[in-house]
Amino acid sequence: MRWPLRSLAPVALLACLACQPRVPAPVYGPWEEGLTLAFEDPSRPQPQRMAERLQLRVARSTLAPGTPTLVQLDLTNLKGRMSLLAKHHDGGIDLVGDGGQLLAVVLPAHFPEVPGWVDHGIEFRVLGRATWGSAAILPATSDPIGVWVEARTPLGPRRRTLYLPNLGGVETLEERNGAWIPVNRLVGRGFTDLPAFKRP
């Protein structure tokens, strides 16, 4: 018994599609070593806004096939400096201690397909995708389409954060008197190297 060629076409098409290489899932956090991001609170007047500017730098990144696994983030402002460890897994990002203990869930595994999650009493809900209105500061190769996430705390105001691939949260809005006010925004992006360490 012979199968007509037109009957085999759909089967062949499905087989070809199944063999196509899969595009890696986006990483919704900074992970490239040397990447340096600057953030400001637009609700503050100048010069206070500039004085309180926060710089985030990817100091170290352990890369695995497809996605980064462990990323050291150095945060600096005029008041001091601190380091955080971010563990990436299955599209999620956890903040972990030096011993690997979980400190906080920034994004859950399989983000943004997960509709919501709870961490430390804060309820998070994925609102949907949107294009960032301030994407002009990014290079042309950056993806300006991100995912909005709303956070509800038992006592404080609601907050909404837009996460972009390879950058993380680029803008946060806070609900104040029925209006959404930007309280954190990415204002600078570049790559910096640490000063060379000279041994005596």
> Is the pLDDT score of 101 beyond 60?
yes
> Is the pLDDT score of 187 beyond 90?
yes
Write the CA distances from 154 to 30, 52, 121, 182, 184, integer angstroms: 29, 27, 7, 21, 21
Q: How many CA atoms lie within 13 A of 171 on its CB side?
A: 20
CB atoms within 10 A of CB 199: 3
CA dist., res. 75 & res. 86, Å (int): 13
Calculate mean pLDDT across residues 174-191: 96
Contact at 8 Å (CB) between 158 and 133? no
What is the reported pLDDT for 64?
65
pLDDT confidence bin for 13, thresholds 50/70/90:
very low
Write the CA distances from 160 to 140, 149, 178, 185, integer angstroms: 25, 5, 14, 12
Percent of the chain residues topping a pLDDT of 70: 82
CA dist., res. 200 & res. 198, Å (int): 6
Contact at 8 Å (CB) between 194 and 179? no
